[in-house]
Chains A and B, each alone.
Chain A
Amino acid sequence: MDWQLVTQSLGGGILTGSVYGVAAVGLALVFGVVGVVNFAHGAMIMLGMYVVWYLHQWTSLDPFLLSLVAAVVGLGLGWFIQYVLVNKVMGTGQEGPLLVTVGISLIFVAVAEFVFSSNPRSVKPSYGDATFSVGPAQFSVTRLIAMLAAVAFTLALHNVLRKTDLGRSIRAVSQNRTAAQLMGLNVATVYAAAMALGAASAFFAGGVSASLLPVTPNAGLSLMLMSFVAAVLGGLGSIRGAFAAGIIVGLAEGAGALLLEGTLKTLVVFALFVLVLLLRPEGVFKR
């Protein structure tokens, strides 16, 4: 086997996987706390891309720095969505949240098309052409920075959940809702906070991806599917698990690229997805 090709594919897999990871973290958080599969996650990722693209056009600041701004936008939007829409359909089965998040996703995509048109846009950081090599393989510096940013964001989120009152409250609600209420926690607010953080991670993942992928209104879809795979693989609800699973998904995609040509590489990921969804212990699905 061609050693260079293997390093290239798997190394690339890890770099891309970290972006899947940070997106998956948000999905897993929302699921773990609110118990809702957020079908608008992909659209949020896409909006994050556009926020960074737009601000980069305007300010020429570093896109990875601007991803933080995108995350802040995500915080606000996520809070609003949960508070105004999703909270109102909780407790009536899964169909309500499913419909509402699908609807939100459609609206976001439509808005992006109206505002930005469907022409692909791209973001190029100042170091866009720089590369570095690992053994025989060569990678762009942009992808490395994207990975570092994803790791940093995930660690920060992890610390918020571990060390702050907000994080403790979020974990408490996810572990025992009634007991959390008896501690004086407003579950609706905590849900909104969790969705806010989840959306922030989606926006951040999108912001980071803006430098890696063409920015289009439908760009969030494939990223969302990858993060679904990772979130489910990581055990739905675990932050570290979701991030690690994101890397695994990236690696699987890299391995797929070695074995299969062109777009067929994603088949490996989907096969993994279906396998994981089907074979997880029943407990994971019965919430």
Chain B
Amino acid sequence: MTSSSTGKPDTSTGKPGTVPVQARPGRSGLNRTVKLVAGALLALVIVWIAAAGSNHLLGLATVALMFGAISGAWAMAGGLGGLFSLGHAAFFGIGAYTTAFLFAGHGVSPWLGMVAGVVLAAVFGACTTWLSVRFRVRGSYFALVTLAWAEMLRVIVSNVTPLGRSNGILVPYKAEPTFADLQFSDPRAYYALAVLYAVVVTVIFMVVKRTRFGWRLSAVRGDEDAAAASGVDVRRVLVAVMALSAAVTAAGGTLYVQYMQFIDPELAFSPTVSIDIAIRAVIGGPMVALGPLAGSGAMTTMTEWLKMSVSDSPAMNVLLFGVAVILAGRYFRNGLAGIGASALQWIGRRKERHDGS
């Protein structure tokens, strides 16, 4: 290969079989280097925040990480599976409420609460998705149905007395919390937990993407009928990915409620939460493992910056999300990750031209 116009690796599709026939050592090396550098930088920032950050910064980072990771869970279904949900608050809320109810009401360890929440959310996700898939509800309608499910949960929970109705549940803070209570006196412990959760979600995402399951998802996302024709059980694949996504989201709900020590129907189930979860992923890039985390970090950073420099109205946040999501829909369908990839390609092309001359 001599000219730069041939053998361009196809980075747009993740389907097996479209792997470039002749991989270019130069560019994939560059790619790996960039990924390593990005990962190292991220790790550095994470450590730096833990070591030097103020409590304020630590709190922001904790929430950004938790929501970024939940966004990553969303992206398994919304990105890899092509099931654009606007109802992930349902799973988040199930996780948070199950944990809070068991812990505050019955003294059950949040770790067990997490397990219970995860199971409940997975079942709920599987059932509702099975219905949607069964009746071929997709695209915008899928988003609508998921929105409706979450709203139903919000209305129900607002009317159930043991769950505190619209007042919510206050999680008691133990005077001497133990690890079993999932409560800590040092804010860095929550932060570490959020980091751990984010790592786990990222690893799950990568595993899902790279295995046969991910291949099936990608086939279903591309063309359902063709996937079915080639022997993929479409219904099972979609139900499974939503169950997984729901389970991982619910675990995030547990961490969140233990950290905030309070939950109410609005915080848990409102459409705002669902939209927030979806948008962080969309902005970061829903097809890439680190995309949602990057999106979450970017959004939190931007929000804070705007709050300090322009106005500290909570509407600032909403405005920012609105503008960002329109830009993503209009120009950057693959989010920040997509922008990064394009930049990388551009650098690669420049380098190549340089080497070739």
Interface residues of A (CB under 8 A from B): 36-37, 39, 85, 88-89, 92-100, 102-111, 113-114, 217, 221, 225, 228, 232, 261-264, 266-267, 270-271, 273-274, 277-279, 282, 285-286
Q: Give the Cβ gap from B311 to chain A, nearest Cβ, in Å.
A: 8
Q: Which 4 A-B pairs have the closest CB atoms?
A: A99-B329, A106-B322, A103-B326, A113-B315
CB pair B325–A278 under 8 Å, yes or no, is: no
Chain A residues closer than 8 Å to B50, beta-carbon distance: none
Q: Chain B: interface secondary structure?
A: helix
* Least CB separation from A111: chain B residue: B319
CB pair A264–B155 under 8 Å, yes or no, is: yes
CB pair A99–B326 under 8 Å, yes or no, is: yes
Chain A residues closer than 8 Å to B143, beta-carbon distance: 37, 39, 98
Q: Give the Cβ gap from B306 to chain A, nearest Cβ, in Å.
A: 11
New contact pairs (13) apart from A264-B159, A274-B131, CB-CB < 8 Å: A36-B140, A92-B333, A99-B329, A103-B325, A107-B319, A108-B322, A113-B313, A225-B151, A266-B155, A270-B152, A278-B132, A278-B135, A282-B136
* Least CB separation from B318: chain A residue: A110
A93 and B140 alpha carbons, distance in the complex (Å): 10
CB pair B155–A103 under 8 Å, yes or no, is: no
Is B27 in contact with chain A by the CB < 8 A criterion? no
User: Per-residue CB proximity of B311-351 to A under 8 Å, as 1/0?
Assistant: 10111101101111110111001000000000000000000
CB pair A267–B322 under 8 Å, yes or no, is: no
CB pair A114–B322 under 8 Å, yes or no, is: no
Chain B residues closer than 8 Å to A105, beta-carbon distance: 322
CB pair B322–A94 under 8 Å, yes or no, is: no
Chain B residues closer than 8 Å to A104, beta-carbon distance: 322, 326
* Least CB separation from B317: chain A residue: A110
From known contacts A278-B135, A285-B138, infer whether A107 and B322 are also in contact, taking CB-CB under 8 Å: yes
* Least CB separation from B143: chain A residue: A98
CB pair B319–A100 under 8 Å, yes or no, is: no
From known contacts A285-B137, A286-B136, infer whether A96 and B314 are also in contact, taking CB-CB under 8 Å: no
Q: Chain A: interface secondary structure?
A: helix
CB pair B84–A95 under 8 Å, yes or no, is: yes
> Which of A37, A100, A107, A263 lies in contact with B330, CB distance below 8 A?
A100
A221 and B272 alpha carbons, distance in the complex (Å): 10
Q: Give the Cβ gap from A36 to chain B, nearest Cβ, in Å.
A: 8
Chain A residues closer than 8 Å to B292, beta-carbon distance: none
Q: Give the Cβ gap from B100 to chain A, nearest Cβ, in Å.
A: 21
A141 and B140 alpha carbons, distance in the complex (Å): 38
From known contacts A93-B139, A103-B326, infer whether A270 and B132 are also in contact, taking CB-CB under 8 Å: no
Chain A residues closer than 8 Å to B325, beta-carbon distance: 99-100, 102-103, 106
Chain A residues closer than 8 Å to B322, beta-carbon distance: 103-110
A45 and B354 alpha carbons, distance in the complex (Å): 56
Q: Residues of B within 8 Å of A, CB-based: how many?
A: 45
Is B248 in contact with chain A by the CB < 8 A criterion? no
* Least CB separation from B328: chain A residue: A99
Chain B residues closer than 8 Å to A109, beta-carbon distance: 315, 318, 322
Chain A residues closer than 8 Å to B240, beta-carbon distance: none
Chain A residues closer than 8 Å to B60, beta-carbon distance: none
Chain A residues closer than 8 Å to B84, beta-carbon distance: 94-95, 98
Q: Give the Cβ gap from B218 to chain A, nearest Cβ, in Å.
A: 15
A268 and B155 alpha carbons, distance in the complex (Å): 11
* Least CB separation from A92: chain B residue: B333
* Least CB separation from B145: chain A residue: A277
From known contacts A96-B329, A98-B140, A103-B329, infer whether A273 and B321 are also in contact, taking CB-CB under 8 Å: no
Chain A residues closer than 8 Å to B147, beta-carbon distance: 225
CB pair A88–B330 under 8 Å, yes or no, is: yes
Chain A residues closer than 8 Å to B109, beta-carbon distance: none
CB pair B319–A95 under 8 Å, yes or no, is: no
User: A104, A264, A267, A277: which has the most chain B beta carbons within 10 Å?
Assistant: A277
A96 and B329 alpha carbons, distance in the complex (Å): 5
Chain B residues closer than 8 Å to A37, beta-carbon distance: 140-141, 143-144
Q: Give the Cβ gap from B288 to chain A, nearest Cβ, in Å.
A: 16
* Least CB separation from B158: chain A residue: A263
Chain B residues closer than 8 Å to A98, beta-carbon distance: 84, 139-140, 143, 329
Q: Give the Cβ gap from A265 to chain B, nearest Cβ, in Å.
A: 9
Is B108 in contact with chain A by the CB < 8 A criterion? no
A12 and B341 alpha carbons, distance in the complex (Å): 56
> Which of B136, B137, B275, B333 lies in contact with A106, CB distance below 8 A?
B275
A232 and B145 alpha carbons, distance in the complex (Å): 11
A277 and B123 alpha carbons, distance in the complex (Å): 21
CB pair A110–B316 under 8 Å, yes or no, is: yes
CB pair B155–A263 under 8 Å, yes or no, is: yes
CB pair A278–B131 under 8 Å, yes or no, is: yes
A221 and B270 alpha carbons, distance in the complex (Å): 10
CB pair A89–B319 under 8 Å, yes or no, is: no
A215 and B83 alpha carbons, distance in the complex (Å): 34
Contact sample, A vs B, 17 pairs, CB 8 Å cutoff: A37-B143, A89-B330, A97-B329, A98-B139, A98-B329, A104-B322, A109-B322, A110-B315, A111-B319, A113-B315, A225-B148, A261-B159, A274-B152, A278-B145, A279-B135, A282-B136, A285-B139
> Which of B148, B313, B330 lies in contact with A274, CB distance below 8 A?
B148
Q: Give the Cβ gap from B165 to chain A, nearest Cβ, in Å.
A: 9
Q: Give the Cβ gap from B240 to chain A, nearest Cβ, in Å.
A: 20
Is B295 in contact with chain A by the CB < 8 A criterion? no
A110 and B136 alpha carbons, distance in the complex (Å): 35
CB pair B155–A267 under 8 Å, yes or no, is: yes
